[in-house]
Amino acid sequence: MKIKVLFWVVVYFALFVVALLNNLEVSGIYKFILALLGLFITLYALALASIAGRTLKRYAHKEPGSGFVPDKFTRFGIYSCMRHPMHLGIGLLPLGVALLFGNLGAVLASGWVLAAAFWFVLAIEEPETIESYGSSYIEYMQQVPAFRFSLKCIENGLYALKQKEATQENSKVEVSGFEAKYYDRLMDIITVGWYPKFIKGAITDISLNKNAKVADFGAGTGRNAILMHSFIGSHGEIVGFEIGKEMQEQFIENTKGYKNIKLVKKSILEPLNEEEKYDFVFISFVLHGFTKENREKIIQNAYRILKKGGTFVILDYNEFNVDSAPFIFRFGIRFLECPLAEEFIKSDLEELLKQKGFGDFRMKSYLKGHIRLLKAIKS
Ligand SMILES: C[S@@+](CC[C@H](N)C(=O)[O-])C[C@H]1O[C@@H](n2cnc3c(N)ncnc32)[C@H](O)[C@@H]1O
């Protein structure tokens, strides 16, 4: 291992010397174009090396956390896409940096670093790995290329590192801490100001009637309750159900000027004993954070507290194919959202609602069908 590290120190040092000795510099617009290309290659190389390192740390050790050198064969995550992402990253990094600084001598010399990376893999790494893992590695060599230049590999490598079991414990639906404290602001910033307009439009699309009694499941900061208030007027009522401490505090503070908006500090998973009291139950971006079993409990609760003919309104992800969805949705669902979200997206929500006594579905979709407002009537 020490010799391998020494090899790379020597190769990098040789390149550094070339960069210092040469005085060939590009200028003007070419410098700018090369710098952009250099930035891209540098980031790509760093992402490759970092994702590969983390994947090996997590999946290539018989005992988790047992030293630096892998002792278990893995073809997980980025390793399902190419055999040597780490070496490709190490090989490409000098080229990226040389382009970034517009140092032509170093750009030319970095070709030798890439060649060194390929030689190192073919002459040193692969024979050693075949010796350690035998036929399973040979089979892997036949199926997966040594190197591949692909952004999709980086993306899938990232998702694999985030992958967790789709359990309630791993769900992030009980928002807390920093995320809860600045929830509304974060939503506005992450969506570059799109979210406030969207949620206002979606709440308008519910068609709440004047004087309606509304239960808001997982009510958050009270932003939705205030938007709904303008439709129900002063004789209706909105009751938010919320268990997050930071969310409860904001709900109370934000809605203190409204006499007919109340907060119930109760979980929507517990049986609610206010039978047939509400005209609407609204649940916005909450249901996708629960297991199927818990979704059933929430739907049963909605059914119990709705008046006959009352409407259950679900604003959440629509059913869609995450693999073929635009990058922004794939990234949101697989990297930012909790593991249960993808399972929710694949599930047949209307069928579940039907089983629990709801019917007469109406749907409005947003963002090219990736989000929907589903209205279901208690029959
Ligand atoms: C993603 S946020 C959505 C908040 C709000 N509905 C909105 O659209 O802005 C999910 C909310 O559900 C709340 N929540 C999670 N589990 C809950 C439960 N079992 N009972 C009540 N609220 C819950 C969280 O604390 C959080 O405020």
> DSSP for 314-346?
EEEEPP--TTTS-HHHHHIIIIIS-THHHHHHH
Round the CA-based radius of gyration of the chain to a whole number and report it: 28
Question: What is the structure's pLDDT at 71?
Answer: 78
**Which among 173, 238, 268 is the best mutation to test ligand 1's pocket, defined by most ligand atoms within 8 Å of the CB?**
173
Q: How far apart are the first and last CA of the chain?
A: 69
Question: What is the structure's pLDDT at 379?
Answer: 86
Which of the following CATH numbers is that of domain 177-378: 3.30.460.80, 3.90.1300.10, 3.40.50.150, 3.30.830.10? 3.40.50.150
Whether 240 is in the pocket of ligand 1, judged by its Cβ within 6 Å, is no
Encoding tokens for residue 62? Answer: 């018989």
* Three-class SS state of 348: coil
pLDDT digits (tens, 9 = 90+) for 129-155: 899 888 989 999 999 999 999 999 999
Rounded distance between C-alpha atoms, residue 313 and residue 372, angstroms: 10
Which residue, judged by its Cα, is nearest atom 10 of ligand 1? 286
Q: What is the pTM of this model?
A: 0.84
Lowest mean pLDDT among 54-63, 219-228, 344-353: 54-63
Exposure string for 356-370, b = 16+ CB within 10 A, e = fewer: bbbeeeeeeeeeeeb
Rounded distance between C-alpha atoms, residue 301 and residue 271, angstroms: 6
Task: Kindly report the number of other CB atoms within 10 A of residue 259's CB atom.
Answer: 9
Residues 6+ apart with CB under 8 A from 118: 91, 146, 147
Task: Specify whether the CB–CB gap between 307 and 279 falls below 8 A.
Answer: yes
Q: Is the dihedral of CA 250, 205, 300, 167 positive or negative?
A: negative
* Three-class SS state of 306: strand
Question: What is the structure's pLDDT at 67?
Answer: 67
Task: Kindly report the number of other CB atoms within 10 A of residue 44's CB atom.
Answer: 19
**Which among 198, 216, 242 is the best mutation to test ligand 1's pocket, defined by most ligand atoms within 8 Å of the CB?**
242
Q: Where are the domains of the chain?
A: 2-162, 177-378
Whether 225 is in the pocket of ligand 1, judged by its Cβ within 6 Å, is no
pLDDT digits (tens, 9 = 90+) for 296-337: 999 999 999 999 999 999 999 999 999 999 999 999 999 999
Which residue, judged by its Cα, is nearest atom 15 of ligand 1? 174
- Comparing CA positions, the residue from 253, 216, 220, 244 lying closest to residue 231 is 216
DSSP state of 123: I
* Whether pLDDT at 158 is above 80: yes
What region does 134 belong to: left with phi over 0, alpha with psi -120 to 50, or beta?
left
Task: Kindly report the number of other CB atoms within 10 A of residue 215's CB atom.
Answer: 27
Encoding tokens for residue 268? Answer: 């929507």
171: CA distance to ligand 1 center in Å? 12
Task: Specify whether the CB–CB gap between 232 and 208 falls below 8 A.
Answer: yes
Whether 224 is in the pocket of ligand 1, judged by its Cβ within 6 Å, is yes
Element (H, E) at 300: helix 292-305
pLDDT digits (tens, 9 = 90+) for 20-75: 777 677 778 888 999 999 999 999 999 999 999 999 988 888 777 666 677 788 89
Lowest mean pLDDT among 83-92, 204-213, 284-293: 83-92
Rounded distance between C-alpha atoms, residue 9 and residue 269, angstroms: 58
Residue 184 Cα: closest atom of ligand 1: 9
What is the distance of C-alpha 3 from the center of its chain? 39
Q: What is the mean pLDDT of the chain?
A: 92
Go through the chain and tell me how many residues it has.
379
Rounded distance between C-alpha atoms, residue 233 and residue 260, angstroms: 9
Residues 6+ apart with CB under 8 A from 362: 374, 375
Question: Amino acid identity of 97?
Answer: V
Q: What is the dihedral of CA 155, 158, 159, 160, to 10 degrees?
A: 120
Q: What is the CATH number of domain 2-162?
A: 1.20.120
Strand partners, 261: 238
Task: Specify whether the CB–CB gap between 348 and 361 falls below 8 A.
Answer: no
* Whether pLDDT at 274 is above 90: no
Give the residue, 287 or 10, on which the prediction is more confident.
287
Encoding tokens for residue 219? Answer: 């009510």
* Whether pLDDT at 189 is above 80: yes
Q: What is the DSSP string of 349-370?
A: HHHHHHHTTEEEEEEEEETTTT
Whether 337 is in the pocket of ligand 1, judged by its Cβ within 6 Å, is no
